[in-house]
Amino acid sequence: MGGAVSAGEDNDELIDNLKEAQYIRTELVEQAFRAIDRADYYLEEFKDNAYKDLAWKHGNIHLSAPCIYSEVMEALDLQPGLSFLNLGSGTGYLSSMVGLILGPFGVNHGVELHSDVIEYAKQKLDFFIKTSDSFDKFEFCEPSFVTGNCLEISPDCTQYDRVYCGAGVQKEHEDYMKNLLKVGGILVMPLEEKLTKITRTGPSAWETKKILAVSFAPLIQPNQADSGKSRLVHLPPVAVRSLQDLARIAIRGTIKKIIHQETLSKSGNGLKNPPRFKRRRLRRRRMETIVFLDKEVFASRISNPSDDNNNNNSEEMEEERREEEETKPSELKPDPPVNFLREKVLSLPLPDPLKYYLLYYREK
């Protein structure tokens, strides 16, 4: 699945392309996509493909195409404080983006069939929390993952405000999925080859909307245990935050407000995202074409047809290249972003252990 938008050179350009194609339509979703680099969820040897609008699979590890994730995020209509259940949570990429929107008082649970993928997701989550430049811009609802088949969830589990299933749902399992929702909740899942949004408008009332034609691998049916009974999946309990944790959230929130007020007083306007520096594009563009044939992948670069008929422009294009090279150092090397929250915390007259606690013991 995927290929709806052009490949990007980096995560920001991928998001720009998704916005231009109207797959990303709201500011909250855009912020979440920009905050987490998709390449961080790839194995090192496959990172060259991270910014293509294509699904990726290696063994049990799987990522859907960016255009699919963006449609899912938009359809879920996420808001701070909601509860979210991700069925087939995989690498945790989607769950982490959702957690940036849910905030510290949301609930973020995932069910994944493969234990090795759960371990992979936990490693990626730990890497994001400890090293991401954007982590301190948000209050994060950390996902919790459990191993099991999502068709065997214990019937006494709590219901959720938002549910997503990342595998094809057979028609006979539609009601099972619907029953995971609270009244007013939204379920997004591939149903009968369509990405489908179902809103629970009452105890027995539903609104259904088909979003996008998709092709997902079907849900894996449960295996019966030797006793003939299924293995029930027990979702994580909805835990109450400790007083210590609540204090950290409140202190960090207060410091962010102070930083915002200081910025307002200096600049006279609100905080804005710094401009992104990009290479100036040449007028002659090339389009990357990827062809799948049997199990082989063929990639070719096809020049714009007009190139063959306009050889006289070669001198002008060469001059453009030289200009680009001359301007590249200043355009591509902006000052590194400053983590004002981290600087402010480290400057406080507090014991070092408390400072590190306020910073989540982050490495940056």
Q: pLDDT tens digits for the chain (364 residues)?
A: 566 778 889 999 999 999 999 999 999 999 999 999 999 999 999 999 999 999 999 999 999 999 999 999 999 999 999 999 999 999 999 999 999 999 999 999 999 999 999 999 999 999 999 999 889 999 999 999 999 999 999 998 999 999 999 999 999 999 999 999 999 999 999 999 999 999 999 999 999 999 999 989 999 998 765 455 668 999 998 888 899 999 999 999 999 999 999 988 887 654 445 555 454 443 333 334 444 434 444 333 334 444 444 555 566 666 666 666 655 555 555 667 788 999 999 999 999 999 999 999 987 6
Residue from 184, 173, 157 nearest 165 by CA: 173
* For the chain, domain boundaries: 71-239, 240-263+341-363
Instruction: Specify the fold of 71-239.
Output: Rossmann fold (3.40.50)
Strands 286-293 and 296-303: antiparallel
> Cβ(196)–Cβ(188) under 8 Å?
yes
Active site residues: 64
* Structure-token pair, residue 187: 């379920």
Residue from 123, 119, 66 nearest 97 by CA: 66
Q: What angle do CA 58, 190, 19 make, to 5 degrees?
A: 80
